[in-house]
């Protein structure tokens, strides 16, 4: 026994010596990082020099998240050799704060940083810092934890299966309430301590950013929001009453807004399950009877950016040199159709904060986003980020499809080898291009290192990394070199379509997914349809309409903008409804003006008259035009309200099949042409037809996907053979797609292949 203890002590001494020796050997240059406006776009600047933000990231998966282990280091080095200089890893306080009386032990953070710099001496590193308290905290502070309106919180082992710290995040587990002031204060102090300690180390020299991670998977979502209803905990009750007091100031104002003579700041409460269910009879909630729901959801959503900004401020104030701070937020496309319960409805507050440098999110998984020939796209409104001087970073976390090749690097006689590898490279380059055309960046998020790969490991690649193939790494390197050359030029955008979206309207909508079809089909599917049409578009939040150069847009599409205030109405009339522009309005533009529901604003915007219906059955739309015979439906539930065009001066494009009354209409007006669409479509036929009729520029002829911006025109296609690309200048470019597909990059002005 004594011998074992002696050997154990000897090993501890050896580990300490190794730790100190490694600390001395690592790269000692200190890095500073900022986001500055450079050549017309927000740009990552490291030690005073612009740098294209292509990043390699390890996930939180066991077996792949520890940078000093063999497989992760192998992939880090491969990516470094391919030109990556910025790396990223996840870190949790469970690993650093073992009990309340312990000070923070940051050795695990130092080891993670050394694991990178050992193989990449001049690496710059971003840390995703999960601001969750350690597991012991939940037992000590049970009253500071989330409670769900529709179920009891589950006492699941917080380390979860495979000891993945956030494995059980999507379940209704015991976690902190975002409204807990104990959690907010405690973790801000710990984040400050972490920053001070890490910056004082040699390892801290390589850190250029710390990303605030909270909520499900660190993505700023409320616990349990995907299927359940958060948060009725005591901390949230207290916070909600404080929020109401700040909004209404007097009990009289509160009672008038809620239509109640008994409500006060002392007895107002977070809506329970019955109150939330009562809002599911129609698409829009009833006012003032359900103003309490509107207020609660807005209170809940405003809290998230406040918390993120608070942590970001703490980071910047406790790191003496400039450092990046950012967060997952701003998701507009697929949010599980649960935006109200836990989406990102107040991300504009983050865009306005001086403490936030970037927002980020996984690229869209659906609809029509993942397969070769699909249009890969960002989850957020990237143009809005650019207009507000913030970076957007895509999380590229999907695996290249090489499942048919088991020995890719050693057996090029595999049937269809060239086609398979071409297809994989085409998808990788396509996904890299999504943010690059907006002058923004991304990271490769490598789940493969943790055992997520679905096929047998190639014999000579030495790793399970998703991109660890010579051909793919070479393509990554070459593509990055092109992006770097183009992004040092003055930013350009030739998009002639502007897609406009809103987030505020969700507060006034039901949470019943079956009734939300016109919202989600319009937001998710028709945005995909715009990409599939072969045109170039910019995507913005309605609050940023005043920041765009409207002269470049032939067509403006108002998508889920069912809430338009008098101030927004004035801006739209002055800035959009002129210059012979075509304006496309979806479903209920301005039906809610911020106070009441009516068609008054709809008529003012569209210059079209409407009749409101409350149907008892679902309707389809039929289009019977010389160049389009088409019928489509949206939901198997009646959609209430429904709007019928009732205007003799409007041209009928499509009708509600069962009523034979106008559902899609066009009206030529002085200064602009107004197009109204009563119900959106799951497919892409309608959107392409509207773009054709409104004079939008089409780049291709064979269903190719195009990305345009940042001095580049990028074409993605899996259709083998010759293709023609039509530049906006009138020039035609000929190119050829090999078997399996390709993503080709051209100079957007000259058409020169890059």
Per residue in 535-549, pLDDT (tens digit) is 999 999 999 999 999
Contacts of residue 523, defined as CB under 8 A and 6 or more positions apart, other chains included, come to: 332, 333, 501, 559, 560
| Arithmetic mean of pLDDT, 677-685 | 93
Which pLDDT belongs to residue 26?
52
pLDDT digits (tens, 9 = 90+) for 562-613: 999 999 999 999 999 999 999 999 999 999 999 999 999 999 999 999 999 9
Please provide the distance, in angstroms rounded to a whole number, between the alpha carbons at the two ends of the chain.
68
User: Do residues 127 and 31 make contact, with C-beta atoms less than 8 angstroms apart?
Assistant: no
Q: Which residue has the higher pLDDT, 168 or 15?
A: 168
Q: What is the Cα Rg of the chain in Å?
A: 27
User: Do residues 168 and 153 make contact, with C-beta atoms less than 8 angstroms apart?
Assistant: no
User: pLDDT above 90 covers what percent of the chain?
Assistant: 72
- Please name the fold of domain 497-689: Rossmann fold (3.40.50)
**Buried b or exposed e, range 542-557, using 16+ CB within 10 angstroms:** bbbbeebeeeebbbbb
Look-up of token digits 């000579």: 460
Answer whether residue 353 shows pLDDT above 50: yes
Look-up of token digits 């109204």: 676
Answer whether residue 459 shows pLDDT above 70: no
Which pLDDT belongs to residue 462?
39
Other CB atoms within 10 Å distance of the CB of residue 573 = 13
The predicted model scores a pTM of 0.92
Contacts of residue 618, defined as CB under 8 A and 6 or more positions apart, other chains included, come to: 633, 634, 635, 636, 637, 638, 639
> What is d(CA 75, CA 89) in angstroms, rounded to the nearest whole number?
13
pLDDT tier at 460, thresholds 50, 70, 90: very low
pLDDT tier at 18, thresholds 50, 70, 90: very low
Instruction: Look up residue 142 and give its DSSP letter.
Output: G
Residues of the chain with CATH 3.20.20.80: 29-233+297-487
| Helices first, then strands: H and E counts in the chain | 19, 27
Q: Which residue has the higher pLDDT, 555 or 11?
A: 555
Residues of the chain with CATH 3.40.50.880: 497-689
Answer whether residue 226 shows pLDDT above 70: yes
pLDDT tier at 504, thresholds 50, 70, 90: very high
Please count the residues of the chain. 754
Q: Which residue has the higher pLDDT, 35 or 486?
A: 35
Q: Give the DSSP H/E element, type plus range, for residue 218.
A: none
Of the listed ranges 9-23, 172-186, 677-691, the one predicted with least confidence: 9-23
Residue 262, helix vs strand vs coil:
coil
- Look at strands 672-677 and 661-668 and give their pairing: antiparallel
Which pLDDT belongs to residue 178?
96
User: pLDDT above 70 covers what percent of the chain?
Assistant: 90
Which pLDDT belongs to residue 281?
66
Q: Which two tokens stand for residue 90?
A: 């996840």
Other CB atoms within 10 Å distance of the CB of residue 93 = 22
Answer whether residue 228 shows pLDDT above 90: no
Look-up of token digits 């907010």: 184
> What is d(CA 89, CA 133) in angstroms, rounded to the nearest whole number?
18
Q: What is the mean pLDDT of the chain?
A: 89
Classify domain 29-233+297-487 at the CATH superfamily level.
Glycosidases (3.20.20.80)
Phi then psi dihedrals of residue 722, to 5 deg: -80, 140
DSSP assignment of 624-650, as one string? EETTEEEEEE--SS--SSEEEE--TTS
Alpha helical stretches, state H, 535-612: 566-575, 600-606
Contacts of residue 605, defined as CB under 8 A and 6 or more positions apart, other chains included, come to: 558, 564, 569, 572, 573, 577, 585, 589, 590
Q: Which two tokens stand for residue 151?
A: 């179920």
Which pLDDT belongs to residue 118?
95
Cα 100 to chain center, whole Å? 35
pLDDT tier at 455, thresholds 50, 70, 90: very low
Residue 304 Cα distances to 92, 213, 224, 354, 384, angstroms:
19, 11, 15, 16, 19
Region of 86 please: left (phi>0), alpha (psi -120 to 50) or beta: beta
DSSP assignment of 647-683, as one string? -TTSEEEEEETTTTEEEEEEEE-SSEEEEEESS--SS
Exposed / middle / buried, residue 363 (Cβ in 10 Å: 0-12, 13-18, 19+):
buried
pLDDT digits (tens, 9 = 90+) for 719-733: 999 999 999 999 999
Q: Which two tokens stand for residue 492?
A: 């350009």
Answer whether residue 171 shows pLDDT above 60: yes
Answer whether residue 273 shows pLDDT above 50: yes
Contacts of residue 684, defined as CB under 8 A and 6 or more positions apart, other chains included, come to: 528, 529, 532, 533
Q: Which residue has the higher pLDDT, 4 or 231?
A: 231
> What is d(CA 172, CA 153) in angstroms, rounded to the nearest whole number?
5
């Amino acid at each position: 026994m004594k011998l074992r203890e002696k050997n154990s002590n000897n090993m501890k001494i050896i580990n300490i010596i190794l730790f100190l020796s490694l600390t001395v050997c690592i790269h000692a240059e200190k890095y500073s990082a900022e986001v500055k406006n450079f050549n017309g776009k927000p740009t990552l600047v490291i030690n005073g020099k612009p740098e294209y933000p292509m990043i390699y990231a390890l996930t939180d998966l066991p077996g792949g998240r520890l940078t000093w282990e063999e497989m992760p280091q192998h992939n880090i080095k491969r990516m470094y050799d391919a030109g990556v200089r910025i790396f990223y890893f996840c870190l949790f306080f469970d690993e650093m704060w073992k009990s309340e009386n312990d000070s923070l032990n940051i050795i695990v953070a130092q080891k993670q940083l050394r694991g990178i710099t050992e193989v990449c001496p001049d690496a710059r590193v971003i840390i995703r810092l999960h601001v969750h308290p350690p597991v012991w905290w939940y037992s000590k502070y049970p009253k500071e934890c989330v409670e769900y309106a529709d179920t009891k919180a589950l006492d699941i082992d917080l380390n979860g299966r495979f000891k993945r710290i956030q494995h059980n995040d999507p379940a209704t587990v015991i976690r902190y309430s975002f409204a807990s002031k104990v959690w907010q204060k405690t973790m801000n102090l710990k984040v400050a301590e972490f920053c001070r300690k890490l910056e004082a180390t040699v390892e801290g020299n390589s850190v250029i950013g710390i990303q605030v991670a909270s909520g499900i998977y660190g993505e700023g979502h409320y616990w349990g929001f995907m299927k359940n209803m958060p948060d009725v905990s005591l901390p949230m009750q207290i916070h909600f009453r404080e929020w109401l007091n700040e909004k209404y100031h007097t009990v009289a104002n509160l009672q008038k807004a809620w239509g109640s003579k008994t409500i006060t700041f002392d007895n107002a409460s977070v809506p329970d399950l019955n109150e939330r269910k009562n809002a599911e009879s129609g698409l829009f909630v009833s006012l003032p009877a359900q103003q309490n729901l509107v207020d609660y959801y807005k209170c809940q959503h405003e809290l998230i950016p406040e918390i993120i900004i608070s942590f970001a401020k703490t980071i910047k104030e406790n790191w003496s040199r400039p450092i990046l701070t950012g967060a997952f937020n701003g998701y507009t496309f697929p949010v599980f159709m649960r935006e109200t319960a836990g989406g990102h409805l107040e991300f504009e507050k983050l865009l306005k904060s001086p403490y936030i440098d970037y927002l980020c999110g996984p690229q869209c998984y659906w609809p029509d986003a993942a397969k070769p020939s699909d249009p890969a796209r960002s989850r957020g409104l990237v143009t809005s980020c650019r207009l507000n001087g913030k970076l957007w970073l895509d999380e590229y976390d999907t695996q290249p499809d090489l499942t048919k090749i088991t020995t890719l690097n050693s057996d090029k006689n595999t049937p269809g080898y060239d086609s398979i590898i071409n297809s994989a490279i085409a998808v990788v380059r396509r996904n890299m291009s999504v943010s690059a055309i907006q002058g923004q960046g991304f990271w490769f998020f490598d789940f493969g290192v943790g055992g997520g790969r679905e096929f047998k490991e190639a014999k000579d690649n030495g790793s399970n990394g998703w991109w660890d193939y010579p051909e793919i790494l070479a393509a990554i390197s070459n593509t990055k070199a092109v992006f770097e050359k183009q992004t040092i030029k003055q930013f350009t955008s030739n998009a002639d379509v502007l897609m406009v979206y809103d987030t505020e309207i969700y507060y006034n909508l039901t949470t019943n997914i079956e009734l939300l079809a016109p919202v989600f089909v319009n937001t998710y599917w028709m945005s995909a349809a715009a990409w599939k049409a072969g045109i170039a578009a910019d995507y913005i939040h309605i609050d940023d309409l005043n920041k765009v150069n409207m002269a470049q847009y032939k067509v403006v599409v108002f998508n889920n903008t069912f809430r338009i205030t008098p101030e927004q109405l004035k801006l739209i009339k002055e800035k959009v409804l002129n210059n012979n522009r075509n304006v496309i309005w979806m479903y209920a533009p301005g039906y809610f003006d911020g106070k009441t529901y009516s068609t008054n604003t709809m008529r003012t915007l569209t210059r079209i008259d409407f009749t409101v219906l409350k149907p008892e059955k679902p309707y389809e739309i039929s289009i019977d035009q010389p160049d389009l015979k088409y019928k489509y439906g949206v939901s198997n539930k009646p959609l209430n309200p429904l709007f019928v065009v009732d205007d003799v001066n409007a041209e009928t494009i499509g009708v509600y099949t069962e009523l034979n009354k106008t559902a899609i209409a066009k009206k030529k007006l002085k200064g602009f042409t107004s197009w109204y669409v009563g119900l959106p479509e799951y497919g892409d036929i309608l959107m392409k037809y509207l773009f054709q009729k409104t004079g939008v520029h089409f780049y291709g002829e064979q269903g190719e996907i195009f990305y345009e911006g940042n001095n580049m025109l990028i074409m993605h296609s899996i259709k083998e053979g010759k293709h023609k690309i039509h530049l906006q200048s009138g020039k035609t470019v000929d190119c050829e797609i090999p078997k399996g597909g390709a993503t080709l990059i051209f100079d957007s002005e000259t058409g020169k292949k890059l």
